Amino acid sequence: MSFMEKLKEKIRSEGRVIGTGILKVDSFLNQQIDPQFTLEMGRELASRFTGEKITKVLTVEASGIAVATAAGLALGVPVVFAKKGRASTQDAGAYSARVYSFTRREAVDIFVSGRFLGPEDAVLIVDDFLAHGEALRGLVEIVRQAGSRLAGAGIVIEKVFQGGREKLKGQGLRIESLAAIKHMTDGHIEFL
Amino acid sequence: MSFMEKLKEKIRSEGRVIGTGILKVDSFLNQQIDPQFTLEMGRELASRFTGEKITKVLTVEASGIAVATAAGLALGVPVVFAKKGRASTQDAGAYSARVYSFTRREAVDIFVSGRFLGPEDAVLIVDDFLAHGEALRGLVEIVRQAGSRLAGAGIVIEKVFQGGREKLKGQGLRIESLAAIKHMTDGHIEFL
């Protein structure tokens, strides 16, 4: 079985669909982490971007950190994670963006210190989910502020029906996802 | 140079002391992550607890996740991270504890789903810092609620002068830290 098939199988057997939009995969991604499987996810995401001369992997706390670290390990580059929070606790000169969380129904500011991204960097964004595209849009904004080259985005699970990819279409952003869900209901997950 | 010496050297050269209590090591631990170095930290922490038959590594979001995942990888066991937040967004039957953040000057509730820890588990707590011991106390409380056996705690950087170890003394908890800071001022960090 290919790694992608293994991932889909895991999502089918361990994922729980809540309502129409939420997929809980907390048994291996969002609360419990399978370290060996995470390494494989990171390796697979990294392999999609070989030749891009990536210098940094960028993600946002918290669920993206493990898989981003695995991708950084595979690429041999540092990982930077954006922090969520209030401006007051951040460095002056930080890059920031406001993103809306549909799950939490609130806007949150995300920050990256100006010391960790710059015009010399080629950045791969990595995240666990692509849903409405809010987190990804915010991370893209931060890469633009830093003046870095954006190599693309590597996503573990894309919920295609929530339109994140569509929303970011105008940005010329290459998005690679390991598992793309076309449709889901309780008990049935249909991949693209 | 031993790994511990390398870590101390990295803390000395890259750490920034703010005021009397805050050590910022965001260049390799708290915002930017060095994946290869993180693997070594995890391996070193895991090696302190061989023979303990650990079944789960437990940490709290967000900065602990990368090193905990590395420790889980070395031990060949899953990693669980406690989430911070409001009770309303958590599973019924979750374990929880209230911890006070001296940096943010606020109390926060941390949660672990009841599905990921139980009486059959032997738990190693892993975190990036041990300061006043609040996060660690909260994680210990969660392990107790789950009825798991607590094998100990592995910490990357212990700020000895903030008394976390003292506070937890009564708990019979074995704490291993990779770097223990006795005293620090801007420009000078003294290890135990």
Residue type, B7: L
Residues 127-186 of A with CB under 8 A from B: none
Q: What is the pLDDT of residue A120?
A: 98
- Residue of A24, A25, A31, A124 to mutate for B, most B C-beta atoms under 10 A: A31
Q: Which of A32, A78, A81 sits opposite B34 (nearest CB)?
A: A78
What's the whole-number average pLDDT of chain B? 94
Q: What is the pLDDT of residue A102?
A: 84
**Secondary structure (DSSP) of B122-133:** EEEEEEEEESSS
Residues 6+ apart with CB under 8 A from B183: B161, B189, B190
Compute the average pLDDT of residues B67-83: 98
- Residue of B25, B32, B80 to mutate for A, most A C-beta atoms under 10 A: B32
Q: Torsion angle of alpha carbons B139, B143, B144, B148, nearest 10°?
A: -170
Q: What is the pLDDT of residue B39?
A: 98
**Is the distance from CB of A155 to CB of A168 less than 8 angstroms?**
no
User: Does residue B60 carry a pLDDT above 80?
Assistant: yes
**Is the distance from CB of B126 to CB of B59 less than 8 angstroms?**
yes
The CA distance from B64 to B126, in Å, is 7
Kindly identify which residue of chain B lies nearest to residue A116, measuring between CA atoms: B32
Q: What is the pLDDT of residue A77?
A: 98
Structure tokens at B175: 């704490």
How does pLDDT run across B6-47, given as a tens digit for each residue?
999 999 999 999 988 899 999 999 999 999 999 999 999 999
ipTM beyond cut 0.90: yes
Quick one: DSSP state of residue A91? P
Domains defined for chain A, CATH in brackets: 42-180 (3.40.50.2020)
**Is the distance from CB of B137 to CB of B5 less than 8 angstroms?**
no
User: Does residue B153 carry a pLDDT above 80?
Assistant: yes
Answer whether B33 touches A (CB < 8 Å).
Answer: yes
Of the pLDDT bands very low, low, confident and very high (cuts 50, 70, 90), residue A186 is confident
Nearest to B159 by CA among B124, B123, B186, B128: B128
User: Does residue A87 carry a pLDDT above 80?
Assistant: no
Cβ neighbours of A112 in B, within 8 Å:
31
What's the whole-number average pLDDT of chain A? 94
Instruction: With CB atoms and an 8 Å threshold, state whether A62 touches B65.
Output: yes
Reduced to 3 states (helix: H, G, I; strand: E, B; else coil), residue B173 is coil
Q: What is the pLDDT of residue B88?
A: 56
Quick one: DSSP state of residue A77? -
The CA distance from B90 to B92, in Å, is 6
Query: What is the helix (H) or strand (E) element at residue B69, kind and residue range?
Result: helix B65-75
Cβ neighbours of A36 in B, within 8 Å:
73, 76
Residues 6+ apart with CB under 8 A from A100: A106, A107, A108, A132, A134
Compute the average pLDDT of residues A136-150: 98
Q: What is the pLDDT of residue B101?
A: 86
Cβ neighbours of B69 in A, within 8 Å:
33, 35, 38, 66, 69
Of the pLDDT bands very low, low, confident and very high (cuts 50, 70, 90), residue B90 is low
Of the pLDDT bands very low, low, confident and very high (cuts 50, 70, 90), residue B172 is confident
Compute the average pLDDT of residues A34-56: 97
Number of CB atoms found within 10 A of residue B46's CB? 23
Q: What is the pLDDT of residue A111?
A: 95
Of the pLDDT bands very low, low, confident and very high (cuts 50, 70, 90), residue A172 is confident
- Residue of A10, A65, A83 to mutate for B, most B C-beta atoms under 10 A: A65
Q: What is the pLDDT of residue A39?
A: 98
CA distance B150 to chain A (A): 18
User: Does residue B89 carry a pLDDT above 70?
Assistant: no
What's the per-residue H, E or C state across B44-64?
Answer: HHHHCCCCCCCCEEEEECCCC
Kindly identify which residue of chain A lies nearest to residue B42, measuring between CA atoms: A35
Reduced to 3 states (helix: H, G, I; strand: E, B; else coil), residue A160 is helix
Handedness of CA A9, A13, A15, A21 (dihedral sign): positive
